[in-house]
């Protein structure tokens, strides 16, 4: 073999740069390479930057600061496929950085990125280009750019790609594009709703037809949030009367009723609130009578208490001053769910439900229906609420529903009076007013009034009425109403009993007491030892002594029973139809008591054929009185019934003499048909029983004080039954006259004066003025003389001057 000959290497041309291999450890150096014209360097630089960016967010920020983003955007359209691929991969990673996204939007690279989704491109390019768009689509502005550059169509096409990452990125991007589009409408409606609070904006929206667009969204959209925000916008707009008119013309009511049937609770709530706002329009209110109220009642059965609150609010607006809608709510079986809402944990729901029940209770048939659903028990919890709105509405509900004895009894037995009385102490004016109103209504029967007094209502109201800032007409009326059921206290405090204040057994005149002073109960006064204090006069006809056998017409008066039953003669005609009931009208009635009470009123049960009798048959009366005195004398000192047994019941002192007085005047004076003759004869009768006629000049010699002292000693008590007083002056006689007049139906008042004075006033027609055009003249006030000229009547013209002359 021959020897190999070595081939010589040719030297490179002199105009060519020799290859240089550089190892760079600085990102800034590589970023500079992105401006190189050499494809190989660009490809390797992009590869290095991609690896660097993958390492974390800080590196992405570093590349942004080094200015790598702008030269990279140019490489997205490079002719070399490898350079273009590597640049696309970098943007897929970098686009997750918010600052990079912002810069990319400014550089307007969306078209270049979307171009990488072309079918002829490699799968890797599809993967990272779709990743870049998915990251960018999280921003509203980028979404708009993607749509404007036609990015949705190629993304949809890539859903059929065999590569799972391409599918995932494309799906995420499409989801972002579609879902946020929905939020644009939702948020836009929310913005419009807020703008509608400004009247200038309202005018602009009206002029541009924006209100009709709101209705369109509410009617046509199937997206709950859009429906909800559209209904909210309608609610805001409906506060303006012109908008309500426009909505009514566009039949917004039908749309709102339809929204009540939505499966979304938020939409139901918004629709209910819109109905509340539209209720200011009378036409809308009438529309919801047949369509709307039944659906709202159904919402009260929801599991969501926020839905209860909104539905009850709408019902409250619909039923206010609208009996037809109140009836519609009842016909839709709304009473039971409304009462159930009273046990809600949401204060707004409770207050709204109480308002609806109050509106419904203004009609007697509905009130009776509500009472049958145990309202008196259900209202107790709201009365104990710490929320003043709930307290106020609950008290008003009591006012509307406790209008008869049965309801008040149920409230009392359920323990509802205690929290009601506590509300009288409230510092909130509305709560205090409504609580006072409720107490005034509840004081309509004696048992409830007594329980209210026992719980301290009278003391609290007295304290409230002393304050110029806390008192109100209702607190004053409630106080007077309670006093009317405690006439002993009323007379001691006010010194006045009207003709409608009927004195019954157990009444006692303690004398004048100052405001804030406690009046001791009768039992405690009876058990006290006699003292030099003013004698307490007691009215008590309860006696178990049978009338004498010689008396005629024994069946007329139950003398063997409690003689006090004769007091029903006067009250029967007045209370037969009233039955202590309050009938609510649209204004709930007036809190002011009728002060123009008739001072004289004939008993309507008297027969016109009754025999007219004058006088009281003195001789017969005396014989009968003597016979009674011959009977076994009943103890008049305080005693206990059932002594010797384990159970002892205290009874007030009996008064057989007063019982006889009642019997005698009932037999002799009651049948008289002329009211003036009745008054005159009764005055003479009272004067005779109290020591007879006393001339003015002999008044100082009338030793009534000694007589009273002897009675105290004899009875061993300061409490003296009125029948025991045989020497009485003004205040003894006036009290006896009032007590007897009340038993036989003569309307008169009892007025306390100064220095032991007291008198009775009656209203009488002036016979001399008969024939006045327009009917009988107005009755005039007279004072009855029981001392100087018993039976005399003096017309009151100037009260102070006339009384001074008279007394």
What digits encode the pLDDT tens for the residues 723-736? 999 999 999 999 99
Identify the three-state secondary structure at position 618. helix
At 524, phi and psi to the nearest 5?
A: -65, -40
Confidence band for 565, pLDDT divided at 50, 70 and 90:
very low
Q: Considering Cα of 370, then 371, then 377, then 380, what sign does the dihedral take? A: positive
Mean pLDDT along residues 14-40: 78
pTM exceeds 0.75 for this model: no
* Contacts with 586 (C-beta within 8 Å, 6 or more apart), sequence order: 321, 362
Helices (H), 512-645: 522-526, 568-578, 618-630
> Quick one: average pLDDT of 313-331?
95
Query: How far apart (Å, rounded) are the C-alpha atoms in residues 538 and 720?
Result: 6
CA distances from 660 to 154, 622, 673 (A): 114, 10, 22
Given a cut of 70, is residue 675 above it in pLDDT?
A: yes
Q: What is the pLDDT of residues 644-664, one digit of tens each?
A: 444 467 888 999 999 999 999
Maximum average pLDDT range among 185-189, 228-232, 447-451, 622-626: 447-451
> Mean of the pLDDT values across residues 461-471?
89
Q: How far apart are alpha carbons 710 and 26 in whole angstroms?
A: 126
Element (H, E) at 689: helix 675-689
- Tens of pLDDT, residues 515-527: 767 888 899 999 9
**Dist. CA 252–CA 735, nearest whole Å:** 70
Say if residue 587's pLDDT is above 50. no
At residue 639 the predicted structure's pLDDT band, cuts being 50, 70 and 90, is very low
> What are the angstrom distances between the C-alpha of 530 and each of 708, 709, 714, 715?
11, 9, 10, 9
* Model pLDDT for residues 208-257, shown as the tens digit of each residue: 777 777 777 777 777 788 788 888 888 888 888 888 888 888 888 888 99
Q: Of 600 and 132, which is predicted with more confidence?
A: 132
Please enumerate in sequence order all residues whose Cβ is within 8 A of that of 177, keeping only pairs 6 or more positions apart, or say none: 137, 143, 146, 147, 152
Evaluate if residue 348 carries a pLDDT over 50: yes
* Cα–Cα distance, 764 to 272 (Å, whole number): 61
Neighbouring residues of 420: CB distance < 8 A, sequence distance ≥ 6: 383, 395, 398, 435, 438, 439, 442
Residue 88's pLDDT band (cuts 50, 70, 90): confident
Of 443, 371, 451, nearest to 418 by C-alpha is: 451
What pLDDT score was predicted for residue 7? Answer: 57
Integer Cα distance of 174 and 133 in angstroms: 9
What does pLDDT average to over the chain?
81
Confidence check: pLDDT of 295 > 70:
yes
Tell me the pLDDT tens digit for each residue of 112-126: 889 988 988 899 999
CB 487 within 8 A of CB 740: no
Picking from 387, 464, 455, 388, the residue whose alpha carbon sits closest to that of residue 424 is: 464
508 backbone dihedrals φ, ψ, rounded to 5°: -145, 140
Q: What are phi and psi of 762, to 5 degrees?
A: -135, 155
Of all residues in the chain, what percent carry a pLDDT higher than 90? 43
In terms of DSSP bridges, do strands 536-538 and 508-509 run parallel, antiparallel, or are they unpaired?
antiparallel
Residue predicted with more confidence, 748 or 199: 748
Least confident of 70-74, 217-221, 669-673: 217-221
Q: What are phi and psi of 626, to 5 degrees?
A: -65, -40
For 83, residues 6+ apart whose C-beta sits below 8 A from its C-beta are 39, 42, 43, 46, 75
Please give the sequence-ordered ranges of beta strands (E in DSSP) within 505-579, or none if there are none.
Answer: 508-509, 536-538
Choice between 622 and 91, residue whose per-residue pLDDT is larger: 91
Q: Give the pLDDT mean for 381-395.
A: 96
Span 436-456, average pLDDT: 91
Of 410-424, 492-506, 567-581, the range with the lowest mean pLDDT is 567-581
What's the confidence (pLDDT) of residue 575? 41
**750 close to 783: Cβ distance less than 8 angstroms:** no
């Amino acid at each position: 073999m021959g020897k190999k000959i070595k081939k010589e290497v040719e030297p490179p041309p002199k105009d060519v740069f020799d290859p240089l291999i550089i190892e760079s450890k600085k990102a800034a150096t590589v970023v500079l390479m992105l401006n190189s014209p050499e494809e190989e360097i660009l490809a390797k630089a992009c590869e290095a930057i991609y690896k660097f960016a993958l390492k974390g967010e800080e590196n992405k920020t570093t590349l942004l600061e080094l200015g790598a983003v702008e030269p990279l955007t140019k490489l997205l359209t490079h002719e070399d496929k490898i350079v273009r691929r590597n640049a696309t991969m970098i943007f897929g990673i970098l686009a997750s950085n918010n600052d990079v996204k912002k810069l990319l939007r400014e550089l307007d690279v969306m078209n270049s990125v979307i171009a990488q989704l072309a079918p002829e491109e490699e799968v890797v390019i599809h993967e990272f280009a779709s990743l870049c768009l998915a990251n960018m689509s999280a921003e509203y502005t980028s979404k708009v750019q993607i749509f404007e550059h036609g990015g949705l169509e190629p993304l949809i096409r890539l859903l059929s790609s065999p590569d799972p990452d391409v599918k995932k990125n494309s799906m995420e991007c499409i989801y972002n594009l579609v879902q946020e589009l929905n939020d644009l409408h939702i948020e836009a409606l929310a913005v419009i709703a807020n703008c509608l609070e400004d009247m200038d904006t309202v005018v602009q929206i009206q002029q541009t037809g924006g209100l009709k667009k709101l209705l369109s969204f509410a009617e046509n959209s199937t997206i709950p949030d859009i429906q909800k925000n559209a209904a909210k916008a309608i609610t805001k707009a409906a506060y303006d009367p012109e908008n309500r008119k426009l909505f009514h013309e566009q039949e917004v009511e039908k749309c709102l009723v339809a929204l009540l049937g939505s499966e979304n609770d938020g939409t139901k709530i918004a629709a209910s609130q819109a109905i509340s706002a539209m209720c200011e329009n009378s036409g809308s209110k009438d529309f919801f009578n047949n369509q709307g109220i039944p659906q709202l009642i159904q919402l009260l059965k929801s599991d969501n208490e926020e839905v209860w609150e909104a539905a009850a609010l709408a019902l409250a607006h619909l039923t206010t001053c609208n009996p037809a809608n109140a009836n519609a709510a009842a016909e839709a079986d709304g009473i039971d769910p409304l009462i159930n809402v009273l046990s809600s944990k949401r204060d707004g729901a409770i207050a709204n439900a109480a308002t609806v029940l109050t509106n419904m209770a203004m009609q007697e048939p509905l009130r009776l229906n509500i009472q049958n659903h145990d309202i008196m028990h259900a209202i107790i919890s709201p009365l104990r609420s710490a929320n003043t709105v709930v307290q106020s509405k609950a008290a008003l509900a009591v006012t509307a529903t406790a209008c008869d004895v049965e309801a008040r009894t149920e409230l009392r037995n359920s323990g509802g009076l205690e929290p009601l009385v506590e509300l009288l102490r409230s510092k909130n004016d509305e709560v205090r007013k409504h609580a006072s109103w409720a107490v005034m209504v509840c004081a309509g029967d004696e048992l409830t009034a007594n329980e209210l007094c026992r719980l301290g209502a009278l003391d609290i109201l007295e304290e409230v009425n002393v304050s110029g800032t806390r008192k109100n007409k209702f607190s004053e009326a409630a106080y007077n109403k309670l006093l009317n059921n405690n006439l002993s206290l009323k007379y001691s405090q006010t010194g006045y009993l009207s003709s409608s204040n009927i004195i019954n057994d157990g009444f006692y005149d303690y004398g004048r007491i100052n405001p804030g002073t406690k009046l001791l109960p009768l039992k405690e006064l009876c058990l006290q030892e006699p003292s030099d204090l003013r004698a307490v006069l007691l009215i008590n006809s309860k006696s178990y002594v049978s009338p004498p056998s010689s008396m005629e017409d024994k069946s007329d008066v139950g003398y063997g029973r409690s003689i006090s039953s004769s007091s029903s003669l006067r009250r029967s005609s007045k209370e037969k139809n009233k039955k202590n009931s309050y009938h609510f009208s649209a204004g709930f009635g007036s809190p002011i008591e009728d002060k123009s009470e008739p001072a004289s009123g004939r008993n309507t049960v008297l027969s016109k054929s009754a025999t007219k009798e004058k006088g009281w048959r003195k001789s017969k009366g005396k014989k009968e009185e003597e016979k009674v005195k011959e009977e076994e004398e009943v103890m008049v000192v305080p005693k206990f019934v059932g002594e010797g047994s384990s159970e002892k019941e205290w009874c007030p002192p009996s008064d057989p003499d007063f019982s006889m007085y009642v019997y005698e005047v009932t037999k002799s004076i009651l049948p008289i048909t002329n009211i003036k003759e009745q008054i005159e004869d009764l005055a003479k009768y009272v004067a005779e029983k109290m020591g007879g006629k006393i001339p003015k000049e002999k008044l100082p010699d009338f030793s009534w004080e000694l007589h009273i002292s002897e009675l105290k000693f004899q009875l061993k008590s300061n409490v003296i039954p009125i029948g025991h007083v045989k020497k009485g002056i003004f205040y003894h006689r006036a009290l006896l006259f009032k007590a007897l007049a009340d038993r036989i139906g003569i309307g008169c008042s009892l007025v306390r004066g100064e220095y032991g004075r007291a008198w009775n006033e009656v209203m009488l027609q002036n016979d001399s003025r008969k024939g006045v055009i327009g009917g009988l003249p107005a009755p005039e006030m007279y004072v009855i003389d029981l001392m100087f000229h018993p039976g005399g009547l003096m017309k009151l013209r100037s009260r102070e001057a006339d009384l001074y002359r008279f007394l």
